[in-house]
Structures are given as C-alpha cells and as structure tokens.
C-alpha cells in the first residue's frame, strides 16, 4: 500500500536522495524524517551509552531523536525538506 | 522578509493563540512580529503541509481551511512573520534571539507574548525507544500536515481525545488501525462526555469520530496499557496488558503511536524565572498569570496551551485577552472598551475551560502506568538514563528534579528534559512518597534548542576578526 495520501495535495517532482550510500526516491519538498520512516529506514541516531537505535518520535523539533547527518552536518530530520541529491547518514553520529 | 530591529509586540508561536494575539494587536496599528520554527502559521494543531504541496481541488479538511485563513489574515494585516526561525534565547527587556538556516538574528520588544503551546506526555514502558514507536501527536502531524500514513498497520495507545482523533484520520485516509489501547475505561469516557456539552461543536465532532471507529470494527482495549514493545523482523511486537486482570494480548504491527496527554511548554517562562504552580488537570507546571494572561514580569504574556492545557479554541480566547491587555497598557483602548471586549471573551473562555477539565480527566496519568515501568527502562532518551538510575539518585539524597539532574545527567541531553521531565518527576515522587510539587522543575537554560556553533558565528575572513592587543609579558 502506498502510504502517501494523494487526495488533497499534489507533491513536488520526483527526486533522488542518498541514504547511507543507498539511493531512494522521494518527492521534492517532502519532510525528510517522514520519507525515511515510510521507506523503512527507521533507525536514525544511535543512543550515547547503550548504543541503541533511535528514530523519529515527536515530529515537532522537541525530542531530537531524529537527528541525522545531512551533507555532513547534524540536523533534526523532522524539519528538513527533501531536495534532489541530498546525502544522509544515519547511525553513530558522534564522530569527531 | 526585511525585519525591523524593534517591534511593538513580538509573539513567539504562530498557532491559534499567537495568531489571534497578532491580529488583535495589529488592528489597532501596532507593529507586530510573529516567530515560528515551522514554515507557516497554524501551530501543531493546524499545521500546514510543506511548501511544495499544492492543493489539488476544493476538496479539503477543516484544519487545512483554518490554517489557510490564518495565513490570509496575517498577510492582510501586514504582520511580519519569521517562519523557519527557532528561538534559542529570550532575555528580559526583551531581547529575542533566533536562528534559521542562514544564521542568527536578534529582535527587541517591550511586549512579548509567548504562545509556544505544548509537548506530548509519553509515559515510558519497556521498548518505547524502539524505532517505529512514535507519539500520537507525531502521528497527527504525519497524517494532517504531511499527508502520509505512518504504516500499513498501526496500533494506537495512551489516553484522551487524541486517540480518537488519530484513529479517525487514519481511517479517513484509508489506513488500518490494528487496535486502540486506552488506559481509561468506557465509563470514564461517558463521564467526561458531560463536560463536553459546554463545547457543542467539539462534542458533535467527537461523536461522529467515535461512530466511524465503531463502524470500522477497530478492536478497542479499554483499561489497558502497553506493557512491552520489541523489534521484530518486519515490524514490532506489542504486548497489551489489561490494568485490572493483568491479562496479556500480543500483536504484531508496524507502528505504535502512543501519547498520554499534553504538558505546557514552559521553556521560556522557566528561563525568565517566572513563578510557576502545579496543576495536573492543566498538564503539570504552569506559569502564574493574571486573568488576562499577564505574568509578574512587565510586558510578558503567556497564552495558549503554554499557560495550561485547554485546547485550540480556548487558545484563541487567551491570545485575544493578552492582546487587549497590551492595548490597554499602551492606551490604545480605554477602560470601557477594554471591559466590554474582555468580559465577553472571559465568559466564553470559562465555558471552554469546563470542557477542557473534562477532557483532562481522561488524560490523568493512572498510577498503573508509572508502576508498570521496569527498572531497566530508559526514561531519559537523550542520555540513556534508566528508572533504576533515577531511583538510585533519590535513595542517595536527591530531593528535587535539579538534584536528580546533577546526579544522573537526565535532562542534560539535547532535548533538555522536555521528553522525560514529567515521567522522572512521577517516578521520583512515587518512590519518595512525596508530592510531585515538592520536586520542583528543571531550571530553564539556553540554548532553548541545540544549534551548531558555526551558525551562531557565521562566515567571516581572518582579517574581519577584531584583534585585541596582546597582554604585556
């Protein structure tokens, strides 16, 4: 089943983004955390002590669980909107 | 947008309360700036779809129409908007520091209206940190703003009206709800219905949502909670437990959306050292305000759900009252006009607050939810602090939330305790057998949201740095 609802709005044009070296298709302007969630890339950051996977949680910029590396910079993916060719890295982001 | 350095009124938060304040102030000629971290007005409740989404036809839903009206009204009234700007510091006086993707900016004002709304309370359980477990509020944002179902199969859990609203929207948008797991009993719902009469519009809407859920034959587990979640190959396994008879039912699903009501966002009022009081039916700690939502600090108003949870419709009334109070202080309306305008609004607000109290009872945190948290469950998600760590701190003498913070590092992570403060307080007060009020709240700290230092500094050449004379040897 397509999880995107197309009844009310037309989305932007189809673009490609790279997530951990894998290319996935999305619509331009869609929310990054939502696209990752519905394409089953739910593991975003790794927790600091227990090294557990964490993922999108609050969707309003509060919890900071959806942090990923976008073009090498830490961002909360819930307020990032897809642009063609974005490069995303997930997992252990605490690299110096 | 070209901003002024100083505004007559600055409003933080472009939800229903902030927008209403802005419109009321600007109608009397005040220069208003409204700031929001989202890309548009509407707040979380009427959150706008991303900018790239283009409306297909006249076919729409109510929240979207309200948001469009907000945008139109703000533009028509020449209100400056700073969308995509996140406020990271507010200093008395007032200086407001914000950042966006280009860097930082500071504005000044004598009249500040804080309309920052709420966060969702989510009481931890085993496995709540598993990716695929999200907030109920997150789920509504996915559905209404992003027009996306979170998964093919969804379990909804928690309590209160959001459970019904999320279930309704999933069904409306063609999705499937595997189960609704509600900590309240059916009797508690019926009891709360009595107060709903004070808000007929929401009452009728609620009934139509419940009917849709019943006709769709979604299994409803009343008096039940989520005992445990674990990762499975193609989804997650969810353990549902009946609070009374302890019976357990296991389900496999893709997504679990869970929420236990809302708690006011007090980041800014705590930072400005306003006095707060505790009211469980209003969501926890709330700033002390007069009946026009004015705080003890000159020129500072706190409106909307941030002043105590009472919903989106009441939020507008609160925003309006604060605006009238500012207009009176600035002598733009006289005493008679002020009394005339506010007395009507206060009457309406009182009715909505009776309604809100009824709803709040459904969102009261049952003891069983706290007792059900196992010792090794992570409570502070940022720093991986478990229930055991919190109890250890309490046993060793930590007697308030700030002390527990120093002891364990809870609340020192990037979310600054927004996600877990409420649960930590509940756990500690249960363990110490003390009133939750006696534990206080976390001292407000900047930055209100994490942001990279390079953003604060901006781009510059070495030559541009102001050099200071070296200290004499």
Q: Which of A1, A9, A36, A66 to mutate to test the interface with B (most CBs of B within 10 A)?
A: A9
Reading the block at residue B25, the tokens are 């102030």
A75 to chain B: closest CA residue: B451
The Cα angle at residue B106 between residues B100 and B110, in degrees rounded to 5? 130
Q: Give the closest residue to B128 by CA, choosing from B449, B373, B311, B437.
A: B373
A chain contacts of residue B174, beta-carbon cutoff 8 Å: 5
End-to-end CA distance of chain A: 41
Please give the backbone phi and psi of residue B49, each rounded to the nearest 5 degrees, phi first: -65, 160
Q: Which residue of A5, A12, A64 is in closest CB contact with B450?
A: A64
**Pairing outcome for strands B154-158 and B255-259:** parallel
B442 to each of B21, B38, B270, B394, B415, how far by Cα in Å?
29, 26, 8, 16, 12
Q: How far is A36 from chain B (nearest CA, A)?
A: 11
Residues 6+ apart with CB under 8 A from B86: A61, B37, B98, B99, B100, B448, B449, B451
Residues 6+ apart with CB under 8 A from B463: none
Q: Tell me if A27 sits within 8 A of A13, measured CB to CB.
A: yes
Domains and CATH numbers, chain A: 14-87 (3.10.20.740)
- Which helix (H) or strand (E) segment is B212 a member of? helix B200-215
Q: What CA–CA distance (Å, rounded) separates B120 from B157?
A: 13
Number of A to B CB contacts under 8 A, please give it: 146
Reading the block at residue A30, the tokens are 């869609």
Q: What CA–CA distance (Å, rounded) separates A15 from A9?
A: 17
B chain contacts of residue A62, beta-carbon cutoff 8 Å: 119, 415, 418-419
Reading the block at residue A28, the tokens are 């331009």
pLDDT in tens, chain B (473 residues): 799 999 999 999 999 999 999 999 999 999 999 999 999 999 999 999 999 999 887 777 888 899 999 999 999 999 999 999 999 999 999 999 999 988 899 999 999 999 999 999 999 999 999 999 999 999 999 999 999 999 999 999 999 989 999 999 999 999 999 999 999 998 888 887 777 777 777 788 888 888 999 999 999 999 999 999 999 988 999 999 999 999 999 999 999 999 999 999 999 999 999 999 999 999 999 999 999 999 999 999 999 999 999 999 999 999 999 999 999 999 999 999 999 999 999 999 998 888 888 888 888 889 999 999 999 999 999 999 999 999 999 999 999 999 999 999 999 999 999 999 999 999 999 999 999 999 999 999 999 999 888 777 777 888 888 888 888 87
Q: Peptide bond before B366: cis, by omega within 30 degrees of 0?
A: no
- Which helix (H) or strand (E) segment is B105 a member of? strand B103-114
Domains and CATH numbers, chain B: 6-119+263-333 (3.50.50.60), 122-260 (3.50.50.60), 373-439 (1.10.10.1100)
- HEC assignment per residue over A46-94: ECCCCCCECCCCCCCCCCCCCEEEECCEEEEHHHCECCCCCEEECECCC
pLDDT category of residue A42 using cuts at 50, 70 and 90 = very high
Q: Tell me if B227 sits within 8 A of B372, measured CB to CB.
A: yes
Q: Tell me if A65 sits within 8 A of B381, measured CB to CB.
A: yes
Contact B150 A38 (CB under 8 A): yes
Q: What CA–CA distance (Å, rounded) separates B273 from B444?
A: 8
DSSP B283-316: TEEEE---TT-B-SSTTEEE-GGGGS---HHHHH
Q: Tokens 């919190």 label which residue?
A: B390
- CB burial string B222-231: b at 16+ within 10 A, e below: bbbbbbbbee
Reading the block at residue A9, the tokens are 């709005």
A29 to each of A71, B35, B294, how far by Cα in Å?
17, 22, 39
Contact A63 B418 (CB under 8 A): yes
**Pairing outcome for strands B284-287 and B276-279:** antiparallel
**How much is the ipTM here?**
0.95
The Cα angle at residue B240 between residues B223 and B205, in degrees rounded to 5? 55
A chain contacts of residue B149, beta-carbon cutoff 8 Å: 1, 3-5, 38
């Amino acid at each position: 089943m397509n999880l995107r609802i197309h009844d009310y709005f037309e989305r932007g044009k189809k673009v490609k983004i790279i997530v951990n070296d894998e290319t996935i298709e999305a619509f331009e302007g869609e929310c990054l955390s939502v696209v990752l969630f519905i394409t089953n890339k739910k593991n975003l950051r790794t927790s600091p002590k227990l090294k557990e996977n964490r993922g999108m949680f609050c969707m309003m910029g509060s919890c900071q669980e959806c942090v990923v590396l976008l073009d090498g910079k830490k961002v909360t993916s819930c307020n990032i909107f897809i642009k063609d060719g974005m490069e995303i890295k997930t997992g252990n982001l605490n690299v110096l | 947008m070209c901003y002024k350095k100083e505004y007559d009124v600055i409003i933080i938060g472009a939800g229903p309360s902030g927008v209403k304040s802005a419109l009321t102030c600007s109608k009397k000629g005040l220069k208003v700036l409204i700031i929001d971290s989202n890309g548009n007005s509407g707040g979380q409740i009427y959150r706008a779809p991303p900018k790239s989404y283009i409306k297909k036809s006249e076919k729409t839903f109510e929240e979207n129409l309200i948001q469009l009206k907000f945008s139109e009204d703000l533009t028509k009234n020449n209100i400056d908007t700073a969308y995509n700007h996140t406020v990271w510091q507010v200093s008395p006086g007032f200086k407001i520091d914000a950042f966006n993707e280009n860097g930082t900016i500071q504005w000044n004002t004598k009249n500040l209206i804080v309309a920052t709304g709420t966060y969702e309370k989510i009481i931890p359980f085993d496995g709540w940190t598993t990716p695929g477990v999200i907030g109920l509020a997150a789920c509504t944002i996915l559905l209404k703003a992003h027009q996306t179902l979170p998964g093919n199969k969804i379990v909804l859990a928690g309590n209160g009206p959001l459970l019904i609203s999320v279930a309704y929207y999933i069904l409306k948008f063609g999705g499937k709800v595997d189960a609704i797991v509600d900590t309240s009993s059916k009797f508690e719902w019926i009891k709360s219905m009595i107060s709903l009469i004070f808000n007929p519009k929401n009452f009728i809407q609620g009934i139509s949502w419940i009917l849709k859920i019943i006709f769709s034959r979604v299994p409803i587990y009343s008096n039940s909670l989520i005992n445990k979640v674990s990762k499975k190959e193609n989804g997650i396994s969810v353990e549902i437990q009946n609070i009374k008879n302890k019976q357990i039912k296991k389900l496999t699903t893709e997504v679990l959306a869970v929420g236990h009501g809302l708690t006011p966002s007090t980041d800014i009022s705590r930072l400005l050292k306003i006095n707060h009081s505790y009211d469980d039916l209003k969501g926890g700690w709330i700033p002390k305000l007069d009946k026009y939502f004015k705080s003890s600090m000159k020129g500072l108003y706190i409106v909307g759900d941030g002043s105590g949870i009472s919903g989106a419709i009441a939020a507008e009334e609160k925003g309006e009252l604060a605006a009238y109070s500012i207009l009176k202080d600035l002598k733009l309306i006289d005493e008679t006009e002020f009394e005339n305008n506010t007395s009507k609004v206060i009457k309406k607000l009182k009715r909505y607050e009776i309604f809100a109290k009824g709803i709040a009872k459904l969102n009261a945190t049952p003891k069983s939810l706290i007792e059900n948290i196992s010792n090794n469950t992570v409570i502070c998600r940022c720093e991986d602090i478990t229930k055991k760590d919190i109890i250890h701190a309490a046993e060793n003498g930590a007697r308030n939330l700030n002390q527990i913070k120093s002891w364990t590092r809870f609340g020192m992570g990037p979310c600054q305790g927004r996600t877990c403060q409420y649960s930590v307080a509940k756990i500690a007060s249960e363990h110490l057998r003390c009133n939750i009020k006696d534990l206080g709240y976390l001292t407000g700290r900047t930055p209100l949201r994490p942001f990279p230092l390079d953003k604060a500094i901006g781009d510059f050449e070495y030559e541009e740095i102001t050099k200071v004379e070296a200290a004499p040897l």
